[in-house]
């Protein structure tokens, strides 16, 4: 099969389009013919070797842990799916990913894709959507009326988090740069802060929840925006316990895992018209280097999709 693999950690030049062996599905695996995949920052962080102490890989490795496609075959122990099912997944990050024509995935990491959107749009949802859900719903226990600050409302994660928080009835404040203000407003944000012209910590106070997708100085300044007893949840770096205590607040770090139950919830929200994927750019598998370059620029407004197979 055709796949983009890496044979060593490195820059964009290690991304190699080549023939790779077909994945061999295990007893509990489904073999998915990939129609579309998506890029996430974790892809180039892994490619560059930044996460090698945390995630031990051997080479060659297929990156890309967001897919939408059609089940081609199932292992002997699979009970939930059958060939022909249209599915989407954020598969186990320790196995080969989805920059490939086929991928083997444990059936417990797969859900039926939303019916009302294309495979390309569906492929953009799993990783960012599970992240938004884990932070807002599972970790921060968001509820109607909560005041939520979401950093990078135009990013892959942020563009879904804004919509999810609105779907839960929250009051949403989001940061972005000048060019993306109309996009973030269109997602339903009640207030949009242009981080290039305004210091968010000077104008945003009393938040129940802060969702940190940036880390560093942005995380440090975020404590000032929380109310007493509020929670700062980061997906970039663990907030320091002493900082949380000093602000009479809570801090948490989330690193997501595959979650088919959440994918089913997200598919229902999409099919009910409450969440729409925001696509920044679409590429063919052959253009993987351009796709990584856009993600690494940190400027993508929404998700970056890779078209791989026929729908
Ligand atoms: N721990 C986990 O499980 C987990 C899961 C998912 C993601 N993550 C991490 O979360 C981070 C965000 O992921 P992502 O996929 O959303 O990234 P992304 O889509 O690449 O983010 C790009 C967006 O960030 C915005 N941005 C950049 N600097 C900003 C700032 N200072 N303030 C506000 N917005 C800013 C950009 O808007 P402008 O162009 O307008 O500046 C752009 O729209 C990454 O570091 C990723 O690795 C972690």
Sign of CA pseudo-dihedral 23, 280, 263, 117: negative
CATH topology for 2-125+277-307? Quinone Oxidoreductase; Chain A, domain 1 (3.90.180)
Give residue 227 CA to ligand 1 midpoint distance, Å: 24
Q: Which tens digits make up the pLDDT trace of 21-35?
A: 999 999 999 999 999
For ligand 1, mutation pick of 157, 194, 215 (most atoms within 8 Å of CB): 157
Q: Is the CB of 156 under 6 A from ligand 1?
A: yes
For every residue of 166-194, DSSP letters joined together read: HHTT-EEEEEE-GGGHHHHHHTT-SEEEE
The ranges of the chain annotated as CATH 3.40.50.720 are 128-253
The CATH classification number of 128-253 equals 3.40.50.720
pLDDT in the model for residue 64? 98
Give the pLDDT confidence score for residue 262 in this predicted structure: 98
pLDDT along the chain (311 residues), means of 10: 98 98 98 98 98 95 98 98 98 98 98 98 98 98 98 98 98 98 98 98 98 98 98 98 97 98 98 98 98 98 98 90
Reduce the DSSP state of residue 297 to 3 states and report it. helix
- Which one, of 156, 190, 194, lies nearest residue 170 by Cα? 190
Where are the domain boundaries for CATH 3.90.180.10 in the chain? 2-125+277-307
**What is the reported pLDDT for 65?**
98
pLDDT at residue number 282: 98
- Angle of helix 156-167 versus helix 126-133 axis, rounded to 10: 50
Please indicate whether residue 159, judged by its CB atom, sits closer than 6 Å to ligand 1: no
């Amino acid at each position: 099969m055709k796949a983009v693999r890496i044979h060593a950690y490195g820059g964009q030049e290690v991304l190699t389009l080549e023939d790779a062996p077909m994945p061999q599905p295990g007893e509990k695996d489904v073999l998915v013919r990939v129609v579309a995949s998506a890029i996430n920052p974790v892809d180039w962080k892994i490619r560059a070797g930044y996460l090698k102490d945390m995630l031990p890989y051997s080479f060659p490795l297929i990156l890309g842990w967001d897919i939408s496609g059609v089940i081609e075959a199932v292992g002997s122990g699979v009970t939930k799916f059958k060939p022909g099912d249209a599915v989407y997944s954020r598969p186990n990050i320790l196995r080969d990913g989805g920059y490939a024509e086929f991928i083997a995935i444990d059936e417990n990491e797969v859900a039926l894709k939303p019916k009302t959107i294309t495979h390309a749009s569906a492929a953009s949802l799993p990783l960012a959507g599970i992240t938004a859900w884990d932070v807002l719903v599972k970790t921060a226990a968001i509820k109607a009326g909560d005041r939520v600050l979401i950093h990078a409302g135009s990013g892959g994660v942020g563009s879904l988090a804004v919509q999810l928080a609105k779907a839960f009835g929250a009051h949403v404040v989001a940061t972005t740069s000048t060019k993306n203000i109309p996009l973030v407003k269109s997602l339903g944000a009640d207030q949009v802060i242009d981080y290039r012209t305004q210091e968010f910590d000077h104008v945003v106070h009393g938040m129940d929840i802060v969702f940190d997708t940036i880390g560093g100085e942005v995380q440090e300044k975020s404590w000032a925006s929380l109310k007493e007893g509020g929670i700062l949840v980061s997906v970039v770096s663990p907030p320091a316990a002493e900082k949380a205590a000093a602000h009479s607040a809570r801090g948490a770090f989330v690193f997501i895992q595959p979650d088919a139950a959440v994918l089913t919830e997200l598919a229902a929200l999409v099919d009910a018209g409450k969440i729409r994927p925001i696509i920044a750019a679409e590429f063919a598998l052959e253009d993987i280097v351009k796709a990584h370059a856009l993600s690494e620029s940190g400027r993508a407004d929404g998700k970056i999709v890779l078209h791989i197979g026929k729908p």
